[in-house]
Structures are given as C-alpha cells and as structure tokens.
Structure 1
Amino acid sequence: MDHERVIRDVTVRLPMASTVVEACRWTVTALARHAPATISVLLHVHDRLRCVAATGSWQVFSTVPPKTGIVGRVYASGETAVVPDVAVDPDYIPVRPDVTAEVCVPVLDPAGRPIGVLDLQWCGPADLGPWRDTAERLAARLGARIVALGGPPAESRSEKLLRHAAALTSASTEWDLFAAAIAAARDVSTLSAAVLVLAGPDGPRLGTPPATPGELEARIRAELTEADPAALDGLVARAHRHGVGYTLGEAGHPPVPDHRPLTRAGVRTLVAVPVGRPDDGGVLLVADERLLRPDPTTVNLLELLAGQAWSCLDRLRSLARLREQANSDPLTGLRHTGPFGQRIAVATPGRTALLAIDVDGFKAVNDTYGHQAGDRVLVRLARALEGALRHGDELYRIGGDEFVAVIEVGRPEEAVRIAERLAEAARQIGRTISVGVALPRPGESPEATLRRADQALYAVKHHGRDGVRLAPA
C-alpha cells in the first residue's frame, strides 16, 4: 500500500470543501477507496461526539458520550488507540460482528486540542502501524481544514430538541421538569425568556422558575404575579381556544388586554404555546424584548416541546398518584404501615412520642350494623383525629381499627395532653378511643417503643376504655 498516495488522494480536495460536513465526507469517501475498513469521523458537538461522516455499515451510532467507547477514550485523552483485537478491549462498541481491529486517532485543532476523532475498523488482516501514521497525518489536515471553516458544526434545532426531550423525560420532579422545559424553550427559540403558566385548583399559577432567571424573565414573572388573575386566565384560555399565537416583531401594533402585563415587563416579541388540556393545562410564554420575527419552524418546534413537557408532567403526576395510593389507606386516606415504619425509624429519643389508638367497641359496630357502617365510623374518626392534631403531627392507620399518631414533644406530659385531646375529639363524634403513649428510650428500637405504647393501650382497655395511659419511662 502506497500510503503517500493515500494521503495525496484524501487531502487534494480538502481545500475545496466549503463546509465542515463536506470536508469530513470527502475524507471518509477518499480514504475508503484505499482502506478496506469501516471509516467514520465524529466531531464534538455540544456535549457529545456526533457522527458527521461514515462509510456504509449495518449500524452507525449517531452520537456517543465523550468518554464512551474507544472513540470517546481517544477524544478525552487526545491520544491514538491501536487495537489489534477489539474482543479484548472493554471499551469497544460493536458496530458489526466481524470487526477484528481498530485504529482511532484524535482530530486536533492547530493548537493541539481534540475536536473529534477519525476511526477505522477492519474485518480482516491489516498492517496497523502504517495505517496509524497515515490516519494521524490525515486527521491533522482535516482538523486544520475544520478550524479554517469555523470549527465543528453547531447543533441543529432538531438536534437541540432531541437533547432537550431526553432531559425532560429524565426529570424526576416537577421542579426539574419545569426548569428543563424553560431552558429548552429558550435554547430552541433563541429568545431570552420563557415562563410556564399552569392551571391549578385555586386558579392559574406560574411554574417553578429556573435557579437563575434572566432579567426579562424575572420582570415577566413579577408582572404576572401582580396581575389580575383574569389576565392569566385569559392567556391560558386564548392559547387553548385558538392554538399557538406569536408576534411578528413589528412596532405600532397595540397588544390585546391579556398581554398588557407582558408589555409592561418589556416584552416586544412573544410566542404563546398551549400546554396540555384546557381544563388542567396551561400556556408556555416564550418572549424577548427585541423586535424579532419568529419563523414558523421555530414555533412548530416549541409546539413539539410543549407537547413533550406535558406528557412528562402528566407522567410525573400519575406516578405521584400511584405512590400516594401505595402509601395511603384507600378508606381513610391516611398513610399506612409502610410509611409509618419509615417514620418511626427516624424517631428522636426523648422527643418523638408514639400514640397507639384503638376504637372502643368497633367490632360491635361491624357485627350490628355491617361493615359499611364500620367504614363510615373509621372515616369520621380519622377526620376528627386529624383535626385534633397539631400542624406537623402525623396520623397513620396500621390495622382495621388501629391508628398511630407520631408527634414531636418536649415532655411526656405534652404527649399525654395531645392524647387526651384526641380522646375528646372522638367523644365529640359519639365514639370513644383508648390511647397508649410511649416515648422512645435511648437505644430502643422503634418496634419496642410501639410495643410499650400498645401495652399502655391494653391497660386502658382493661380499666374501662375511653382513656389515656403513658407507658413507664
């Protein structure tokens, strides 16, 4: 193989390439005439190595994280990798089943910084030493041409949308989702501000702001917070009734009344995108204080983004409902055994009191009036006990007619007073309860504390019910 001829054939057209993609494709195509290998060029675009050009292959990875695979290792280190047997290299990413060897060289800019990689993979015998030298010389010429043409290509808007869609899908909380949606809207649209307005039980509300909102974004949020709720209703209703609306960035056109809070904030360009359903969705407002002309493609991308954000929000809320159902008693709505076990596991000795509660005569209610009547008693009692507890106290249903309250107190006498308040709340609805009170001892397990509270409860039962007893310290 005449490697000097290979280099001449590959580099002769590089000066004529008018784009980075052209330069990469010409390099791969010309090199493939001489090298019986699978060849690709990957450049660092945003936060990944993106395949810009490749010869035919059953599978070409569109993007690779910067430290993944042999190509990621070469990019991160800036050092060539010669792999005579890919089967023994743990970093090898299979592209085709018959690959045996690989040469991967960094594509460097004139200052020696990696901007991508040139990768060659063989399916048969190959003299890897000379090919290493040839690939390194070609990568140097390609790197110089890429820099002369302005560097690796920027992300396209569709690539941005895909990246942001992945971020939305991976958001684990509504806060993270709102922050990701706002960042995505600004990035895809190139406008400077984005605000979510969402429907709520008490009227429209602003979605969670990003950690560092921009100046215009902060002004918009302030104006919408102070605005008449009817203005927010109008923004949401308008978007859902008529679809996406946007300005064409022209002066001299008065805004409709719903938009006046935005103009007071300094907005001169606006895209308003409906999010979700009319009854419980909202609107995504993407804005700028410059007079701009959003193009229809940008608006369409924002519509896709809003749809993805709503799907992810709906999923998060559905998961939250499922978790709540899994952690809650379906009859009373109180949390049950699982969450109770987690709570008492972090009980503070001397400060956390457990109140074991049992409904007096409950079996007679079920036997005399039926289980539906018993269920009604439990629901009424649960509401009465919740109302008698202080803010921050927790009530659990851990059995048929068995409840436990977990409260933070300063002294045992305080726990007894709260237990007596619960007993009085039960009497107010025509029922009585027996309550046993216990405070964790140092080194005592939560289960042992609960057993002592139960023993105190049984002592109340033994002495006539309808009362409170503190377990011995």
Structure 2
Amino acid sequence: MGRPDLLATLDHGTGAPGPPPTWDNIQVDHERVIRDGTARLSMASNVTEACQWTVAALARYAPATISVLLEVHDRLRCIAATGSWQVFSTVPPATGVVGRVHTTGHTVVVTDVAADPDHLPVRPDVTGEVCVPVPGPSGRPVGVLDLLWSEPADLAAWRNTAERLAERLGARIVALGGPPTETRGEKLLRHAAALATAPTEWELRHAAVTAAREVSTLSAAVLVLAGHRGPRLAEPTTTPSELEARIRASLSEAGSGALGRMVDLAHRYGAGYTLGETGQPTGDDHAALARAGVRTLVAVPVGSADDAGLLLVADERRLRPDPTTVNLMELLAGQACSALDRLHAVARLREQASSDPLTGLRHTGPFGERIAAATPGRTALLAIDVDGFKSVNDTYGHQAGDRVLVDLARALEGALRQNDELYRTGGDEFVAVIEVNRPEEAVRVAERLTEAARRIGRTISVGVALPHPDEPADRTLHRADQALYRVKREGRDGVRMAAA
C-alpha cells in the first residue's frame, strides 16, 4: 500500500534516482504522526468524527489496516476504519485480540498472527498486529485502536505512537460524552437474538415486552395472545409498571369483547398509533386504554388472523411516535410470532417423541423417567395386559386390534384419578403409575381398571407392586409382571398384589 505524498518528501542523499524505498527502511517521523493525528481532534463535533480523523491521519503514514472499535452496550462496534475487504462491524465481548485488549486494558503486539489464536482474520496477508486500549474517564478502556500490518514495520515504535494517539482520542471521546449509544435498530437486533433463543414461552414473552419498551422508548408494553375463548392478556413476566398495571385492570374490566375488537381492528387494517394531539376523541374500542391514563399508543398485530394477538406499547406522555418506531414494533412482533411458532413446534415434536402414536399415551422413555422418581411406599406400579388380544388380531386383523387398544386406553384413562399416569409399554401392555397411602388403595384402583375394561367388552389382567426402599425400578416392575402372570394362570380378568 503506497503513500505518494510521503514518498515524494524523501531525500535519498544524492538527488539521483535510487531504488524504490520500502516501508521497513523508511524513517517515519512519529512525532509528526502524533501532531497530525491530534491536530483536528479538538474540532470534532462528535465521537464518530474524532475516530474517523484519527484513523485518516494514521493512514497517511502507516501501511496498515487501521480501525477504532468502541464499547457500545455489550459489544465492540467498529466506528471508523481504513478500506479492507472485510471489517467486523461488531465483536462480542472478550473476542479476538481487540477483545483481549479491551478487557485487560493492556496493549498487545503480535509479531506472528498465525501463532495467536485470538487474531481475527480481517485480511489474509496480515503478519503483525498492534492493538492499544482507548482509555475512558477512570482509565478503564472505552474501546481499542487496532493496526494490522502486512509489511515489515517497527512495531515497537508504532506501539508507542498508537498508545499516545489512543490516549488523546480517549480524552476527546470523554469530552464529547463517551462512546455512541446503541441505535434502535441495533437494540432490536440484540433483542431478536434473545427471542430466537428463548427456551420457554415465559422467557419469550419477557424478551418481547422488554424489547418493546427499550426499542420504542415508551414506558409500558402489554402482550395479547390468542386463546381458546378469544384473545387474552398474557401474564406479566415481572412486576408490571404502574401504567401496565392500570392498562391490565382497565382492559380486564372492559371485558373480552373490547379486547377482541382491538385485535380485530389491528389485524384487519394493520398497525396503528397516536399522533399526540389534544382534543381528539377516543373511540369506544380504545376507551379502556384512555381511562388507564394512556396518552400515546402503538398497537401492532401479532400472529395470523387464525391465531390473532396484539402488542400494545404505551406511555402516559403525549408523544408522536414516528413511522420508524411503528416499523420496528412490527418487526419485533414478527420476530416474537416466529419464535412462538418455533416453541410450539418443538413442543409438538417433543410430545410426539414421548408419546405412542396410536393411543396418545406416553411410552417407554417417559415411563422410565417416572418410575426412577417413584417414592418408596407411596408409589404403586400396575402392570396391565389385555386378555385374548392375540386372537383379536388373528381373527379380525390388526386394524381391529388397534381399535381395541385405543378404546381400552381411553377407558383406563377415564378410570384413573387426576394425578395417576398411564403408559403403553408394549403391544398390548400398559403400566399405570399411581400415588397411594396404603397397598389396598392400589388394589382398589386396579379393580376400577378391570371394571372399566369390562364395560367396553374386554378383560384385563393386572399385577400390583409397591417399590421397596432402594429397590431398582425395573425390579419393582418385574414383581408387578410376576403378579400379572399369576392372574393369567388363574383364569385372567383379575388383580393380584405382588409378593413382598
């Protein structure tokens, strides 16, 4: 990378043309570099200008890729840089050489980037790196000044120059109020990552309302979700603000009809917002919000017409949300909806993976987890086998056999108590896990199951076992199976308690 303005000033002693100079034998006047680098800093009207002028001044003398990265929220953001095929826009905390310098506050000089695992691959021909901290008001770095070299250079001399320039740049940044704040677009991008990775619906709702307040700069956000009986207010994930509490109370008092009309209005015509003008009438659909003290409102549809929800972002101040704010809220609502669909899809897959596709009952995997947590003396296992099931399959076919299993599963579920659990563990084999106070209680539940089977024209054999202290779950189930086989030998259609 040549610098014609600098090369033209070089005197090779004889005045006669000499060999072209290279950057490793040019004697750079580092004091001049520092003077030029600080000359315009005092005139910079903002932090971006200060960073750009520092980089431009250095680029006149240093054949390097130069960048200034400042701390913005929880990342290092590139504020100014010389041309390069790739410049990282933001860098996560403590990532790369720049992150190491920002975290420790100590300059790093890398003479062989191939040997440093933290080096970020900005360009393929880089051989060395000088990265210095840009100090803040208390000495803690607010960012870094980074120089990447692809030609031989006196890195020790450039380290000293870069540190002195970074100190002056840091002082100007402090004088201008510190590093720039996140733009609303950057905030939305950060929150979008939280929405995309939320593991539960609760955390997703929390991320959505937090993002809505922070990106819009309004003080309250309330999420309305679709429900079986119409739209419903999503439960708050944290203690609601005073305005959010009033909004919730007023909407609840207004009833589901008013909430439904607001949702329908948004999905029919799109997002809406106030213009902050006094003396304008409030429609009946929004009267509840006005009574709650809302003076500024952005209402954005969430989901599809078949699964309609609403995002309400509000404030007590009379403001004028600009169209950009509304657009950002629409993007946020779209992200939240996609993330919610993802959670529901994962839940369905998990349910399918843990359920028997024929009967809908949970099967072997969840059963193993449940009996592993059984309480000795309080948990009973009921091993259940359908009597004569093979003859049904042989005589009427597998479709008839499947119908028997489905009907029997429903009958047995209906005979169990609320917290009892029924599993299908084999072709015609089921296991019920129930909580009891006494062994005879388990026998009574088993007898209810046999009666339920008889009511649909089938019979079952049931073996009952209660886990002993420190007894492996598979051993308990084995004892229940032995009791079941005894019922089979004695004529089927009955219940037997396992031997101790």
TM superposition score category, shorter chain reference: over 0.9
Task: Please state how far the C-alpha of 1:86 moved relative to its aligned partner.
Answer: 2.1
Whole-Å Cα distance in 1 between the matches of residues 122 and 465 of structure 2? 65
Whole-Å Cα distance in 2 between the matches of residues 378 and 227 of structure 1? 48
1:72 partnered with 2:79? no
Amino acid across the alignment from 1:191: L
1:370 partnered with 2:370? no
Amino acid across the alignment from 1:429: I
Partner in structure 1 of residue 347 of structure 2: 320
Whole-Å Cα distance in 2 between the matches of residues 155 and 135 of structure 1? 27
How many positions carry a matched residue from both structures?
Answer: 473
1:202 partnered with 2:229? yes
**TM-score w.r.t. length of structure 2:** 0.92
Partner in structure 2 of residue 278 of structure 1: 305
Task: Please state how far the C-alpha of 1:202 moved relative to its aligned partner.
Answer: 2.4
Whole-Å Cα distance in 2 between the matches of residues 87 and 462 of structure 1? 76
Give the superposed CA RMSD: 1.4
Correspondence for 2:205 among 172, 175, 178: 178
Correspondence for 2:434 among 397, 402, 407: 407
Whole-Å Cα distance in 1 between the matches of residues 280 and 358 of structure 2? 57
**Contact map agreement 1:179 1:208 (CA 8 A) in 2:** no
Amino acid across the alignment from 2:477: L
Note the alpha carbon deviations across 1:321-349, whole angstroms, 9 max, x for none.
11111111111111111111222222222
Amino acid across the alignment from 2:198: A
Partner in structure 2 of residue 112 of structure 1: 139
- Between 1:208-217 and 1:171-180, the stretch displaced more is 208-217
Task: Please state how far the C-alpha of 1:191 moved relative to its aligned partner.
Answer: 0.6
- Matches of residues 387-426 of structure 1 in structure 2 within 5 Å? 387-426=414-453
Whole-Å Cα distance in 2 between the matches of residues 225 and 416 of structure 1? 48
Query: Secondary structure at the residue paired with 2:71?
Result: strand
Note the alpha carbon deviations across 1:102-121, whole angstroms, 9 max, x for none.
11111112431211111111
Correspondence for 1:439 among 463, 466, 478: 466
Correspondence for 2:152 among 82, 103, 125: 125
Task: Please state how far the C-alpha of 1:400 moved relative to its aligned partner.
Answer: 1.4
Partner in structure 2 of residue 361 of structure 1: 388
Partner in structure 2 of residue 244 of structure 1: 271
Query: Secondary structure at the residue paired with 1:191?
Result: coil
Note the alpha carbon deviations across 1:27-69, whole angstroms, 9 max, x for none.
1111111111111111010111111111122221111122111
Task: Please state how far the C-alpha of 1:263 moved relative to its aligned partner.
Answer: 1.8
**Contact map agreement 1:436 1:471 (CA 8 A) in 2:** yes
1:293 partnered with 2:320? yes
Amino acid across the alignment from 1:170: T
Whole-Å Cα distance in 1 between the matches of residues 291 and 410 of structure 2? 47
Task: Please state how far the C-alpha of 1:421 moved relative to its aligned partner.
Answer: 1.5
**Contact map agreement 2:296 2:320 (CA 8 A) in 1:** yes
Partner in structure 1 of residue 54 of structure 2: 27
Unaligned runs of 5+ in 2: 1-27
Query: Secondary structure at the residue paired with 2:356?
Result: coil
Correspondence for 2:408 among 358, 375, 381: 381
Unaligned runs of 5+ in 1: none
- Between 1:348-357 and 1:24-33, the stretch displaced more is 348-357
Amino acid across the alignment from 1:177: L
Query: Secondary structure at the residue paired with 1:404?
Result: strand
Task: Please state how far the C-alpha of 1:198 moved relative to its aligned partner.
Answer: 1.0
Query: Secondary structure at the residue paired with 2:167?
Result: helix
Task: Please state how far the C-alpha of 1:133 moved relative to its aligned partner.
Answer: 1.0
Query: Secondary structure at the residue paired with 2:479?
Result: helix
Amino acid across the alignment from 2:412: L
4+ runs of 1 displaced by more than 3 Å? none
Task: Please state how far the C-alpha of 1:72 moved relative to its aligned partner.
Answer: 1.0
Task: Please state how far the C-alpha of 1:240 moved relative to its aligned partner.
Answer: 0.5
**Contact map agreement 1:239 1:273 (CA 8 A) in 2:** yes
Query: Secondary structure at the residue paired with 1:279?
Result: helix
Task: Please state how far the C-alpha of 1:456 moved relative to its aligned partner.
Answer: 1.0
Whole-Å Cα distance in 2 between the matches of residues 462 and 224 of structure 1? 65
Q: What is the identity percentage for the equivalent residue pairs of Structure 1 and Structure 2?
A: 77
Correspondence for 2:362 among 307, 332, 335: 335
**TM-score w.r.t. length of structure 1:** 0.97
Query: Secondary structure at the residue paired with 1:117?
Result: strand
Whole-Å Cα distance in 2 between the matches of residues 393 and 96 of structure 1? 64
Task: Please state how far the C-alpha of 1:455 moved relative to its aligned partner.
Answer: 1.1
Whole-Å Cα distance in 2 between the matches of residues 469 and 110 of structure 1? 80
Amino acid across the alignment from 1:357: I
Task: Please state how far the C-alpha of 1:122 moved relative to its aligned partner.
Answer: 1.1
Amino acid across the alignment from 2:103: A
Correspondence for 2:456 among 401, 410, 429: 429
Whole-Å Cα distance in 2 between the matches of residues 327 and 226 of structure 1? 41
